[in-house]
Amino acid sequence: MSVTGGLGGAQTSWPRWAGNNFVSGLAALVRPPRVKPRRIRRAYLRLWVGALVMLIVIAAAMVFVDASIAESAKRAPIPVIELFNFLTDFGKSGWFLWPTGILLAAIAALASPALAPLDRLLLATIAVRVGFLFMAIAVPSLFTTMIKRMIGRARPFVGEHADPFLYVPWVWRADHASLPSGHAATAFAAAVAVGLLWPALRLPMLAYAVVIAVSRVVLDAHYLSDVTVGAMVGVIGAVLMRDAFAARRLGFAIGCDGSVKALPGPSWRRIKRVARRLFAS
């Protein structure tokens, strides 16, 4: 795999080679898949069956528990409210998108045609993994931002009482942007994306995502069903983005049995060695 084909010759000016790096990276993402989607159809079947089960659970939550849980959250102790009020901000997509976006821009700027081919390949490999993290979080987050405004579900206690069935579609107001939870979508998308690349971080990232989802309910910013839908959107969005990368053999590969696995990444030793050469030049 290589996304360095558009870098040009050694005499290319810095703005041009940085722009070429960016364009060639996008071209690698949108190029036709190398593997046909039917190779992972079985995995998709499990994904959609799971989503159907979750939709049934979500519908039951709307009818039976959303209002009562919102009422209980209203009586939570002040220290609990303050703790979750602090933690919930870490569910904003900017915590992930700004660092990964800046890192992608830095790689595009640093991947000079004068670098050794192996160094450029290493930077391209890092860019693919960082690009996956960016896209796997950005796409579900953008989807929830748009769809919640169209659905127009009122947040808890927008009216006099917690009414899970108060909807004003297409109103495009923050107080009617409850379903789905953007924080939950971002947190679970991040948990899945990071876990796919670094399995050792799956449990810590899952704990992080659950805390963010719980914080939205405790703060009465969302109903339980809102965060459940947000979590489902985040998980599905990250998995679909992984499969889009895998079909193009970017960071992931599809096996003969249809399973998708992350390709080996560069070692920290190689990364540090290239970094020293970059900043020493």
Q: Please, where are the H alpha helices in the chain?
A: 14-30, 41-64, 66-74, 78-87, 94-110, 117-151, 182-197, 202-218, 224-247, 268-280
**Which among 15, 23, 13 is positioned nearest to 5, based on CA atoms?**
23
| Domains of the chain and CATH, by start | 14-280 (1.20.144)
Mean pLDDT of the chain: 87
Residues paired with residue 262 on neighbouring β-strands, in sequence order: 252
**Which among 274, 162, 172 is positioned nearest to 223, based on CA atoms?**
162
**Which among 224, 218, 236, 209 is positioned nearest to 91, based on CA atoms?**
209
* Tokens 């450029």 found at: 120
**Which mean pLDDT values do the consecutive 10-residue runs of the chain (281 residues) have?**
43 63 69 65 71 90 95 95 97 97 88 76 91 97 96 92 93 93 98 97 98 98 97 94 91 83 86 75 61
What are the structure tokens assigned to 90, written together? 């870490």
Residues paired with residue 254 on neighbouring β-strands, in sequence order: 260
SS3 sequence of 206-217: HHHHHHHHHHHH
pLDDT tens digits for 88-147? 999 999 999 999 999 998 888 877 777 778 888 888 899 999 999 999 999 999 999 999
Q: Residue 258, SS3?
A: coil
Measured distance CA(197)–CA(245) in Å, rounded: 12
**Which among 281, 253, 268 is positioned nearest to 122, based on CA atoms?**
268
Looking at residue 33, its pLDDT comes to: 74
Looking at residue 109, its pLDDT comes to: 82
Cβ–Cβ < 8 Å for 170, 152? yes
Q: How many residues does the chain have?
A: 281
Q: What is the DSSP letter of 261?
A: E
- Amino acid identity of residue 124, one-letter, is A
